[in-house]
Structure 1
Amino acid sequence: MEDRLKYIDLFAGAGGFSQGIKYANAEVALGVDNWGIAAKNYRNNFENIFLQENIGSVSNIVSLISDYDFDVIVGGPPCQDFSSAGKGVEGERANLTLEFSKIVSILKPKYFIMENVPNARKSNSYQKAKKNFLEGGYGVTETILDANYYGVPQRRKRLFLIGALNQPDFDISENFEMRQTIFPLTVKEYMPDISLTDYYLHPRSYERRGVFSVYEPSPTIRGVNRPKPKTYVQHIGNTNKDDEVVSLSYDLRSRIQTFPKEYHWVGNISEIEQMIGNAVPPLLAKAVVETISNHSKKEPYVGEEYEFYKFLQKQKGLTKDEYKSTIKELRKSYRYLRNKNRSTSQSQLIKSIGLENTIVNDYLEFKGN
């Protein structure tokens, strides 16, 4: 299909964003990363060309990829220097954000996508990179997306800076908003075949709970996966106080990240866990790619929230502002009940909201229930 946008995936890792590009029926022209084991995994799962190169060498990368046919450059520079899981001090890896902006500014693709953790927005390197993009002729959209509303059964917020060349008024933030699902996705909804009911996910602090139900979204999948310590003290918020609750296997963590079942991982366990935790969830990447495709083709919004808005506009004459207020209250009610009933199935929880919020009945009608 000639109208498909072609992507170069820098800092490709094991291929999370590239998989999302495939899910969106776009084309990966090239993947690039310097991490040896990630390169091996990428090549195991993709047929497109992959280069194992140091992306910090701007002139080298520009000369290597300038002859490829591409429309979009995407990159998620390493986030450890910005993330709450890292030390939060800007170092050499943070400078790769600036190098990415230089590569884009030289090669001038139609669009670029830069992904990172939300804390990156506060950094000097991010702000300098953003300035480079603007001076390079790009209009930009800056948005924080929660993967849980884009088909990923996990609470995971990521910062996206997206640019369009020679389009100073470029703003696709509402498109992302209207593409969301109405309710967050649970692990059990996404994986009906999962045999577990509860699992252990090592918390960053023992002040946080560590046992979760499959009837709620997973916490953020990180690059470490430790078993529950023998000395673990049960948290009041744990969904199961059974000492036999186990950690998720890397296969299940990979699926929660929305890699396909058949994704072939190689390496030792710690390497695989890190690659999985570092990845952009493919279904979140798919939503970003499809949004850019919609903009490129000047197509209308798509997504559950947009369709529900049109439904309520027709049924009740709601304005967009009234709709947004309604959805905000609906999600607030959902969060309140979910926090009280973490082991209740999604469908039961939504119906219980309907006892107090009539808009749920409209939603159930909209969904055909």
Structure 2
Amino acid sequence: MTIRAVDLFSGAGGLTYGLRGAGIDVRAGFDIEPECEYPYEANNEGAEFVETDLSEGNSIAEIREYLSGDEEYTLVAGCAPCQPFSTMSNGNKNQKEGHEKWGLMGEFAEIVSEVEPDLVTMENVPEARKAEPYDEFRSTLSELGYSISDGLVDCPDYGVPQERKRLVLLASKHGHIELTEPTHDSERVSVQSEFEKHELAELEAGETSEKDFLHNARGLSDTNLKRIKHSEPGGSWKDWPEELLLDCHKKESGRKYVSSYGRMEWDSPAPTITTRFYNYGSGRFGHPEEDRAISVREGALLQTFPPDYEFVESEDDLSVVSVGKLIGNAVPPRLAKAIGESLIQHVNHEAPQQRLTAEQIS
């Protein structure tokens, strides 16, 4: 049995790539950011990118068209932008409540209400679960007759080599649905085991691999080069001599921020890959062994994009800041594949039984 799908707020295509890897026919990705078009279409052959503002509510007919066909099941998937919910957001609660992107989860719900697909899945940051827009989203699905399961997922449990927790929701018009059991709960994928799968050239800070222009490491100032040389894997700025400390580290308020300017550990998952993972000072993003921050390609690998995933067409088009945002905001394809496999399992087993029961009752 087949599932035809669209991916809302698709970004660079991580969710689409994983769902397609599970066997779901994702036909299109919708996003407002034009830089998403190249990676989305270059890596997801046959899927089309639609540049649109979903908050304007003018894409319903187009979404219906992509979902039309002889397939037995339809899916609306996506991840509404999570900045308002994220613990990384700046500002107080009132500022977050006034953020324009709070409405995008409501737009997601409106699209589902208009299209009424057989299946829905959404991925977001854990904090979204505590927010009113998420409660309203769930209520909308329930009123439409969907069975819902949701919960916090520890991404390493599904083979993602980073400490990343996400909220995953699955909903079906055809009975009980839930995420498949963890695949790596007893043996988590480490930074080393992920990197060793690929032939990554050794780099110094500021260098770019001749074989892959995305395997590039940002340059470091002389001071930061000294700092990383004194940093131990899994350590922090507390490893440094006094003369290399920042003023904030000497204040009581700054002592709790121990992961900035840190190195990853070879035998553990990486920290959460943020949109600024390429910056040594933005977290524990130092390479475990080499004196540099991880490269753009390494960040993509830790997000479980395949090693040949294209984010820009050529080196001349590369903006590390822009590509870092695409990678950090993505749904890890390996998690997306587990979500897709859960949906496939549901339509192959639970859903047909529900349909048979309904026919018998009628």
TM-score calculated relative to the size of structure 1: 0.70
Write the deviation string for residues 3-22 of structure 1: whole angstroms up to 9, x where unpaired. Answer: 23121101000001011012
**Aligned pairs (5 A) from 1:35-184:** 35-47=33-45, 48-58=47-57, 60-69=58-67, 71-87=74-90, 89-90=96-97, 91-167=99-175, 170-172=176-178, 175-184=179-188
Partner of 1:271: 322
Partner of 1:206: 257
Amino acid at match of 1:150: Y
Structure 2: how far apart are the matches of 1:114 and 1:239? 32
Deviation for aligned residue 1:166: 5.0
Structure 2: how far apart are the matches of 1:11 and 1:199? 36
Q: Secondary structure at the match of 1:7?
A: strand
Structure 2: how far apart are the matches of 1:285 and 1:110? 18
Write the deviation string for residues 278-322 of structure 1: whole angstroms up to 9, x where unpaired. Answer: 0000000000110111111018xxxxxxxxxxxxxxxxxxxxxxx
Percentage of matched positions with identical amino acids: 31
Deviation for aligned residue 1:239: 10
Amino acid at match of 1:190: E
Amino acid at match of 2:26: V
Structure 1: how far apart are the matches of 2:11 and 2:236? 23
**Aligned pairs (5 A) from 1:348-367:** none
Contact 1:101 1:132 in 2 (8 A): yes
Structure 1: how far apart are the matches of 2:134 and 2:63? 23
Partner of 1:217: 269
Structure 1: how far apart are the matches of 2:150 and 2:22? 21
Q: Secondary structure at the match of 1:253?
A: helix
Deviation for aligned residue 1:129: 1.1
Amino acid at match of 2:339: V
Structure 2: how far apart are the matches of 1:31 and 1:291? 20
Flag the structure with more relative contact order, 1 or 2, with Cα contacts below 8 A and sequence separation at least 6: 2
Partner of 2:345: 294
Query: Is there any run of 5+ residues in structure 1 with no aligned partner, and where?
Result: 300-369
CA RMSD in angstroms, aligned pairs only: 3.0
Partner of 2:215: none
Q: Could you tell me which of 247, 252, 263 is aligned with 2:293?
A: 247
Query: Is there any run of 5+ residues in structure 2 with no aligned partner, and where?
Result: 69-73, 204-231, 238-253, 313-317, 351-362
Give the stretch that moved more between structures: 214-223 or 188-197: 188-197
Amino acid at match of 2:159: G
- 1:19 is the counterpart of 2:22: no
Deviation for aligned residue 1:149: 1.2
Structure 1: how far apart are the matches of 2:341 and 2:267? 28
Distance 1:196 1:153, change over 3 A: farther
Aligned residues between the structures: 285
TM-score calculated relative to the size of structure 2: 0.72
Contact 1:201 1:225 in 2 (8 A): no
Contact 1:137 1:166 in 2 (8 A): no
Structure 1: how far apart are the matches of 2:138 and 2:192? 39
Q: Secondary structure at the match of 1:213?
A: coil
- 1:256 is the counterpart of 2:256: no
Structure 1: how far apart are the matches of 2:287 and 2:63? 50
Distance 1:171 1:27, change over 3 A: closer
Structure 2: how far apart are the matches of 1:201 and 1:260? 29
